[in-house]
Each structure stands twice: as structure tokens, then as C-alpha cells.
Amino acid sequence: MSEAGASRSGGDAARARTAASLRKHGPPTGPRRARPQHRRWRRPAHRAARVGPRRPRRSRARASEPRRPSRRGLNRSPQARAAIALSPCPQTTDGVQCGTVDVPLDRSGAVPGTIPLHVEVLPASGLSRGTMFLIAGGPGQGSAGAYGLGSASAAQEMQTMFPGYTLVAFDNRGTGKSGLIDCPGLQTSTLTTIEQDAALARDCATIIGPGRRFYATRDHAEDLESVRVALGAGRIGLFGVSYGTKLALAYALAHPDAVERIVLDSVVAPAYPDPFERNVLREMPGTLTAFCAGGICRGATQNFAGDVVKLANRLEAHPVNGKVIAPNGKLRVLHMNGEELISLIIDADLSPGLAAEAPAAVHAALLGNARPLLRLYDLDLRTSVLSAEDLSFGLYAATNCADGSFPFAPDTPPAARPAILDATVGAFPPGSVGPFGNWAARIGTAYFCEQWPAPTGNTPLGPGPLPNVPVLAVNGGFDLRTPIANAIAVISAFPKGQLITVPGVGHSVSSADFSGCAADAIRRWILGTLPSFRAASCPRVPPVGKILGAFPGRPASASVKATLTAAARTLREAESTWLQIVLSS
């Protein structure tokens, strides 16, 4: 890390490990398609008038003393005797054990029923430093499925990052093998309006039934505590990615005495997502400007951030319709407005191919040629379709609609909510949504949950206070859905907090950083060899795909040189498209 004197030689091995993990598992984050997420929180992820990532301050502090291994992994005291039967997981790497912890649907006991939580444990080799819970994103990803400890490569990656720790991952209620919620309409829809999304969410609530009230982050945090107790673990470490960082912090608020340390990747503050995505919208221009630092976008545009803002506001007033060629060879008509453009741009922080093409495609659309942008949008939609097993959009809806800090009371009838939302947005002070019009607030969860049956929203988290434990946050400088400002705010609440920024890298930085700097920093922090600093930065990571130059016009004829140049640019575009498909989650 350049600011703190901590160096990293990336190396082919680190890049290969990260690339292999992405290809096999995808980043351990929440959903990435344009609909709920950023039409509705990162949908994940997932900004107050900010002009780019804050420069980390320099630090000359000495490295902390290496921490000695302890026997705190699994607490064997009579008070914490294990209550889960573990056995070798079928068809997995040797050593991984599986079990089930039954938890009540409603911990008050008013509503009967239980949920079986699928748990996977990879014991530490040798003397254990402790127990580390791995928490995936979404909400909607099952952590056991997302981290895949049964895969030799995934297990090695996590063991390298957390040396000496017993690793635990379980599928949250409503995900994976833990009472999966599957709402087909919500799961498979792509070309839907915000109103249609809200209706699909309402239909999903009907499918889930009255138990939908018990999928809030607070419930997930109590499930984590049940698994900890069932395993007989003492104080635990928490590693969360994207929404998993919110869940880790929620657990720390509810059970501060049970937390030993916390690692946060792509930080979501406990109070987020904002129901109108105001922080994301305010921070977007600065993040896009930082992405193009050093003139890497100059072949496509002189002002990527300005282009996005101008085009989004234009498209909201005058949407564009155009035809693209579908995989079956037939023409397909697409519609794009400002909300859909913002969703597409946000998805670029998880897709190197999309990030490589977006500056040129947006600029071309401003000049009147929307076809490259519509092709990009079509590909993003098609590569964003996920199974409920991979990421449950039903659980995504249930959790966000239970958590949201909406401007209406939980028992407000759905029919009365639109007027409240419109009045709230209409009263926004200037700059609340950055340089976008107030229409952009519609990408937030408030509109997605508008028709969710009462009670809706405002489920409180634990009372706190947060524990005074070591905390390390890592965040990508190109993270659009969970901007670096989130991490800065969260780390400020921890006296022992440290923040590492990785410029040029997007969301889920520990797996998306091909230089290996973020993962290496986490390992060194665990070992006690990372220098002591408040904030630091890794070297800037170049884009995986080279940023495309401007799309050419469509002349009737051209010289041989111009034709060959166009052919070369087309090949480069094909490379970006390949990256978008291969590295899509």
C-alpha cells in the first residue's frame, strides 16, 4: 500500500487465483443485474457530494506485533458445548464438514415453524487462531454456496486470506439450502418497469406468506448467533462482502461481546441502503471521474462522468428505443430511460467488459448513435439472470422490504404509499441526488417495496454499542454501489479501524482485485504484520479490459486504413464483450 509503506508484488499466482475464483464462483456479492439492484439497491450493494475517493493520509506508524495463535477457535467449555452434528460434506474437498442448525421462524414464538440452516465448516490446520464466519452479499446469496468451501481452489483462497482460522459459512434463511425462497416472476424478469417490479415484489410476498416478516437483517444476525452457539464457538471473526458487511455490523451491534475482529469488503453501513439511493447518486460522478484518471478514457470521451449525467437526464425526459440482435438471430426492441442507464453504469463495477465499453457507448449515444449502448444493455440483462439457488431475489425483496428506512410507517396501507413517496422526493433539497433529477430516486428500495404488504420497513437492528475490536475495511475506488464514502464513515466508528482503498477496482474488491493487493493486506492484517495506519491505498490497478476508443460513424465508404482501424476496434469490442460474459456473476 503506497500510502502506508506496505508493498505488494501482485504476481501471476495471485492473479491466477483471483481469476480462477471469479470464473468458478463469481464475486461473493449480492445481485448484479439492473433490476432490483439498481433499480433497487444494487440492485447490492452494494454518495454525498463527493469528488472522487478521499486521498488516504500518510502514516509512518510501525507495524503491530504479530499475534500469537490461540485456542479460541471452538470453545470447549461446558457453557458453550456444541449442539450441531457435523459430518463430511458429500462430494467436497477433504476436511469440509456439513451440518444443520434449526432456528425458529419467529423468535418471539407467536408464529410457529422452524428453518433448517445449512452450515459448512472447514477446520483450521494446526493450532487454531479462532473461528471466522464468511458472510456473502445480496441479500439473497447463501454464504455456504457462495464461498464454496468444498472446492479445493475456493478453500485454499479463503485459508490463504485467513491463515489459522476455522472457516464457517452457512446459507442464510431463505437462501441456498436453508429454506430457499423462490419467486419465479421476480427471479426471471428483466425488461420491467419500476411499477412492474413493485407488483412482482408484492406477488412474491404473497408466495412467501405471513412469514415474510421474519427475514430482516435482524433475523439473519440472530441466526448467525444460533450457529455460533451451536458450534460451541467463543468470540468470532466476521468477514462480510457487500450486504454481508451490513449483516456483520448488525451482528456486532446485537452481540458485541461475541466479536473478536471484523473484515469488511465493499462496505454497507448499518443504516443503508438509503431508500432513495441518494448516497450512490451523489457519489457516482466522482467515482466515474476517478475511474478515468490518467486519461485512460480519452479515446472515448473527455468527460465520462459528465456524459453519464447528461445522457441519463436526457433519457429520462426522452427515452430511446432501438433494435438489437438477440441470440436467436432475431431483432429485439429495447427501451432505455434514465433509470435503466444508471442501473447499467452501476453494473460496470462488477463487469470489466462493461466498464471497458461504457465510456464509448455513452458518448456515442449522446451524439445520436444509441446502438452500441443498447447492445451493451441487452448483454448486461442477459448475463444477469441468476437462479434462485445462486441468488434469491425473493429473499432480496423480503430483507430489503423489512429493513428499509422508508418515509411511511410500517403499517401504512400500500395504496397510501405512492403519495407519501412522491411528496418526500418532491421536498428533497437541491443536490440530494447529485446532478441527476429527482426522478433518479426511483432506483431505490422505497419504490421497489411500495406494494409490499404491511408491515413494511423500519425493522430495528441491535442496540449496540459496536465493539471496540480491530476492523479492516477494503473498498474499490471504482465501487459504484457501495462507494468508498461508506467505508470511510463506518471505519470512523471504530478506534481500531483501518481502511484500504484499491483504485481502479470495483465491487467485491478482495476477489476482483487481480493485483492481489487487497487479499494480501487482509492476510497480513490477520498475521499482525500490516503496518498500523488509519487509511492507505494500494497501487492503482489497470482495467482488465482496455477502454474502447470512440465508436466510428457509419460512412458509405472508407479508405483501407480506416477500414482496418475499424476492424481492429471491432475486435477490441469483441474482447470486452467476452470479458463481460466470462466474468459476469
Q: Which of 346, 237, 235, 208 is nearest to 288 (CA)?
A: 346
411 in any annotated domain: no
pLDDT of residue 577: 61
- Backbone phi, then psi, for 166, in 5-degree steps? -75, 125
The average pLDDT across 537-556 equals 83
Q: Give the integer Cα–Cα distance in Å for 201 and 216.
A: 15
490-505 pLDDT tens trace: 999 999 999 999 999 9
pLDDT at 428 over 50: yes
Q: Are 56 and 536 in contact (CB under 8 A)?
A: yes
Q: Are 217 and 242 in contact (CB under 8 A)?
A: no
More confident: 546 or 55:
546
- Backbone phi, then psi, for 238, in 5-degree steps? -130, 125
pLDDT of residue 554: 59
pLDDT of residue 41: 32
202 in any annotated domain: no
pLDDT at 245 over 70: yes
145 in any annotated domain: yes
265 in any annotated domain: yes
pLDDT of residue 82: 52
Total tally of structural domains belonging to the chain: 1
Lowest mean pLDDT: which of 47-56, 112-121, 393-402, 555-564? 47-56
The average pLDDT across 289-303 equals 96
For residue 305, the surrounding DSSP H or E stretch is helix 304-317
Q: Which of 90, 102, 222, 239 is nearest to 167 (CA)?
A: 239
Q: Give the integer Cα–Cα distance in Å for 526 and 474.
A: 14
98 in any annotated domain: yes
* Helix extents (H) in 162-263: 184-188, 194-208, 217-231, 243-254
Q: Which of 258, 292, 349 is nearest to 548 (CA)?
A: 292
pLDDT of residue 585: 45
pLDDT at 425 over 80: yes
Q: Are 99 and 121 in contact (CB under 8 A)?
A: yes
pLDDT-based confidence at 189, cuts 50/70/90?
confident
Q: Give the integer Cα–Cα distance in Å for 104 and 196.
A: 33
pLDDT at 1 over 70: no
The average pLDDT across 311-335 equals 92
Using only C-alpha atoms, what is the Rg of the chain? 23
SS (H, E, C) 81-147: CCCCCCEECCCCCCCCEEEEEEEECCCCCCCCCEEEEEEEEECCCCCCCEEEEEECCCCCCCHHHHH
429 in any annotated domain: no
Residue 480 CB neighbours (<10 A): 27
- Backbone phi, then psi, for 552, in 5-degree steps? -75, 160
Question: What is the domain extent for residue 503?
Answer: 67-181+215-275+459-537
516 in any annotated domain: yes
25-81 pLDDT tens trace: 333 333 333 333 433 333 333 222 222 222 222 222 223 332 333 333 333 333 334
CA atoms within 13 A on the CB side of 6: 28
327 in any annotated domain: no
Highest mean pLDDT among 45-59, 285-299, 550-564: 285-299
Q: Are 217 and 401 in contact (CB under 8 A)?
A: no
Q: Say what the pTM is.
A: 0.84
507-541 pLDDT tens trace: 999 999 999 999 999 999 999 999 999 999 999 99
Report the chain's terminal Cα–Cα distance, integer Å: 28
For residue 486, the surrounding DSSP H or E stretch is helix 484-491
- Grid coordinates belonging to 549: 476508443
Q: DSSP secondary structure string, 347-394?
A: HGGG-HHHHHHHHHHHHHHHTT--HHHHHHHHHHHHTT---TTT--HH
Q: Give the integer Cα–Cα distance in Å for 327 and 332.
A: 10
Q: Are 428 and 442 in contact (CB under 8 A)?
A: no
pLDDT at 556 over 60: no
pLDDT of residue 57: 25
Q: Give the integer Cα–Cα distance in Å for 321 and 539.
A: 41
Q: Among all chains, which residue has been given the C-alpha cell 467476452?
A: 578
Q: What is the mean pLDDT of the chain?
A: 85
pLDDT of residue 570: 66
pLDDT-based confidence at 329, cuts 50/70/90?
confident
pLDDT of residue 126: 79
CA atoms within 13 A on the CB side of 12: 0
Q: Which of 133, 166, 332, 328 is nearest to 244 (CA)?
A: 133
Q: Are 14 and 510 in contact (CB under 8 A)?
A: no
pLDDT of residue 497: 97
pLDDT at 17 over 70: no
- Grid coordinates belonging to 468: 471496540
pLDDT of residue 125: 85
Q: What is the CATH number of the domain that holds 109?
A: 3.40.50.1820
Q: Which of 99, 123, 137 is nearest to 272 (CA)?
A: 137
Q: Give the integer Cα–Cα distance in Å for 104 and 374.
A: 47
Q: How many helices and strands, by DSSP H and E, does the chain display?
A: 20, 12
Residue 523 CB neighbours (<10 A): 17
Q: How far is CA 507 from CA 28, 64, 391, in A?
A: 10, 29, 17
Rounded (5°) CA angle 112-115-121: 150
In the chain, what percentage of residues exceed pLDDT 70? 81
193-238 pLDDT tens trace: 899 999 999 999 999 999 999 999 999 999 999 999 999 999 999 9
Residue 80 CB neighbours (<10 A): 16
pLDDT-based confidence at 5, cuts 50/70/90?
very low
pLDDT of residue 49: 22
pLDDT of residue 127: 83
pLDDT of residue 566: 66
pLDDT-based confidence at 552, cuts 50/70/90?
confident
